[in-house]
Structures are given as C-alpha cells and as structure tokens.
C-alpha cells in the first residue's frame, strides 16, 4: 500500500511514521509513505503557493498550478492512484470507507491550508473529499495521519494478527467488547469469571453479548447498519428490557 502526501509542511509527518505499528509496516515493506512538498512545484523564485481570492475576502487560497503539477507528477508514475482532498467539507470518514480505501494500492492525499484550495483543483484533480469530523483544523496534515493510520491497520500483515482488526470497534458496525488482563482482581474489581473459564464457546458468546450491549448503550445508531442474527436480536431485546 502506497501513500503520497502532498503538503506544505512535510516535517510534520516525520515522527508519527517512525513509531509503533506504522513503523513496523514500513520496515516490512507492506506500506510506503512519501511526503511531497507542494512548494517544490511553484515556478517562481520565492516558491509562492497561495494568493488572495478573486472577489475579495479574508485569508489566502492555495494556487492551482503547484498542486496540479504535484498531482500530475505522481499520476505519471501510477495513473491508477486515487486522489483524496482532506477537508471539513468532505464526506465523514468511517470504518466502512476505511475498508474500501484499504483495497486500493495507491492513495494521494492532498493537505489543504489557509482558506482551502482553488476550486479548479477539486474539479480537475480530486477523486474524493474526506473529513475526519465536523470541526476545523489548521490544515489537512493531521487528518492525513488519521486516514493513513486507519487504512494501514487493514493492510494484510501490518498488525501482528490480521484477526486483530476484525475485533476492532466499527469493523462489523458494533463497538468492541470489554477487554481485561492481569491481575484478575484489582481493588475488589474482578475480571468476569467466564473469561477465566477456558470455555471458548462461552467466552465467544459473552463477547458478542457485551459488544451488543455496549453498542446499544453508547452508539445505538450503529445497530441499524449492523448485520444481526436472530440470536443477536433476542439478546438486544433482553438488553433493552433491562435498560428501560
């Protein structure tokens, strides 16, 4: 999986990709992350990448020419690369979209700054616009990091076990069940006995029940999208009765 990040601040990405799971994925050759400085594609001696907007208004707008040249250079290497603009105006990023993006081999991520990009960038070069939430960041760099982290987890081999991602919250439109580790008793709060039983069938049932309970109590909106068995529905009815 390859990520090309188009940004005005490439140094922001140095540390996050040198730690933990992403670093191991890079070392294994499973993911490749490249930062591309948009300023390098400005053709004036001062490397100007922004200008005042036509019609007046506050702030500056990122110019179309440097961005166009940067995207065209990457696409010349790989015409199949999918180009994403990180913007608060984009569609919200969720686990379903993350799964879809993980099936692609090459993503170009454009990080906006200032008041955004010249509209012609969006019309001519962007395949998709994505937002990580209904709030405004200083730029798209942090959003790009979030997207890369989420997508990379689903690239086969990046996690210690591919099944780890299957148990994550939102993977099947349910929140994750509670997790426990040693000690079995902490200040009078004990680990549920079923988890110590060694009965894998009972543990699996408990985890499913707890995932449904947690989703019902915290994110009931997700249940309308989840694939539920008849047994799941019966469990939810019991949970609903207990929490009326």
The predicted-structure confidence for 116-152, as pLDDT tens digits, reads as follows: 999 999 999 999 999 999 999 999 999 999 999 999 9
CB-based contacts of 31: which residues, under 8 Å, 6+ apart? 1, 2, 3, 22, 25, 152, 155, 158
Its pTM stands at 0.88
**Which tokens belong to 18?**
């040198």
Confidence band of 95 (pLDDT split at 50, 70, 90) = very high
Residue 20 to residue 25: CA distance in whole angstroms: 9
Mean pLDDT, residues 75-84 taken together: 98
Confidence band of 244 (pLDDT split at 50, 70, 90) = confident
Orientation of helix 141-152 relative to helix 95-102, angle to 10°:
70
Q: What is the pLDDT of residue 164?
A: 58
Confidence band of 91 (pLDDT split at 50, 70, 90) = very high
Spell out the domains of the chain, with CATH numbers in brackets.
2-160 (3.40.1280.10), 167-242 (1.10.1270.20)
- Could you give the residue numbers annotated as active site? 88, 115, 153, 168
Question: Cα dist. 143→13, 146, 201, 225 in Å?
Answer: 11, 5, 40, 25
Whole-number mean pLDDT of the chain? 94
CB-based contacts of 220: which residues, under 8 Å, 6+ apart? none
């Amino acid at each position: 999986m390859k990520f090309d990040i188009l940004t005005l601040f490439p140094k922001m990405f140095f540390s996050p990709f040198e730690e933990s799971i992403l670093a191991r994925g890079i070392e294994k050759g499973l993911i490749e992350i490249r930062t591309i400085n948009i300023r390098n594609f400005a053709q004036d001696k001062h490397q100007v990448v922004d200008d005042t907007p036509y019609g007046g208004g506050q702030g500056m707008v990122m110019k179309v020419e440097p961005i166009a040249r940067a995207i065209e250079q990457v696409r010349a290497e790989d015409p199949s690369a999918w180009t994403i603009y990180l913007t608060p105006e984009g569609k919200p990023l969720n686990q379903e979209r993350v799964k879809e993006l993980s099936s692609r081999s090459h993503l170009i991520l454009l990080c906006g700054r200032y008041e955004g990009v010249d509209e012609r960038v969006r019309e001519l070069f962007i395949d998709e616009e994505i937002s990580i939430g209904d709030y405004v960041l200083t730029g798209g760099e942090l959003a790009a990091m979030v997207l890369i982290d989420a997508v990379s987890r689903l690239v086969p081999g990046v996690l210690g076990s591919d099944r780890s991602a299957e148990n994550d919250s939102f993977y099947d439109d349910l929140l994750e069940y509670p997790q426990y580790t040693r000690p079995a008793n902490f200040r009078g709060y004990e680990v549920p006995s079923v988890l110590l039983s060694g009965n894998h069938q009972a543990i699996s049932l408990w985890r499913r029940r707890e995932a449904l309970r947690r989703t019902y109590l915290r994110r009931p909106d997700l249940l309308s999208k989840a694939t539920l068995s008849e047994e799941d529905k019966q469990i939810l009815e019991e949970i609903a009765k207990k929490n009326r």
